[in-house]
Amino acid sequence: MLKHVTPWWFDYLLDNPLRRVLHRPERLLAPYVREGMSVLDIGCGMGFFSIPMARMVGASGRVVALDIHERVLEVLRRRALRAGVAERIRAHVTRPDDLGLTDEFDFALAFWVVHEHPNPALLLRQIRAWLKPGARLLLVEPRLDVAGREFREVVELAEAAGLRLTVRPQLSLSLAALLQAPGE
């Protein structure tokens, strides 16, 4: 697994019109995110998924957007304000050893981020601790950076943390797994 963190400025390259064609957030997340939900966006960057999720959860829902770069969270806050969803998004700066949350969530998204974490097992245990019974985690890694064997290892770490693999969605340029917390 790679153990580096992409620099903050790289998020400008990731948040572009071509990516919106490959990974349309509303379409990709429609099976998982509903109005009134509490959702978590891990490694949110500048809000590529956070802002659409805030629209999807509606006025009664909330999005907690996590990133280690304060600079990208500042951009996310400005974009959320312009999009009219700032009151639904809480941007939260994290550390690699402790994401610093005590909330519970109905859904979590870890899109192209786990391979950058220095301790994926710790990250997945923390995510599992925040998921409500029956809640789901959509885990997605970039096919160009993460080999199939490495992705299987990450899924095994998620299962060891107490999540159950339910399906492997097909996503452009990506390896993906939908996992569920026990219960309901």
Summarised one tens digit per residue, pLDDT across range 151-179 is 999 999 999 999 999 999 999 889 999 99
Tens-digit pLDDT profile for residues 75-123: 999 999 999 999 999 999 988 777 788 899 999 999 999 988 889 999 9
Question: How distant is the alpha carbon of residue 29 from its chain centre?
Answer: 11
DSSP state, 174? E
CA–CA gap between residue 57 and residue 99 (Å, rounded): 22
- Taken in order of first residue, the domains within the chain and their CATH numbers are 8-180 (3.40.50.150)
CB atoms within 10 A of CB 147: 13
What pTM was computed for the model? 0.89
- Retrieve residue 163's tokens: 């999540």
pLDDT interval class at 18 (50, 70, 90): low
**Backbone φ, ψ for residue 131 (5° rounding):** -85, 130
In one letter, which amino acid is 117?
H
Instruction: For tokens 């959320």, name the residue.
Output: 80
Tens-digit pLDDT profile for residues 39-64: 999 999 989 999 999 999 999 999 99
pLDDT at position 8 is: 54
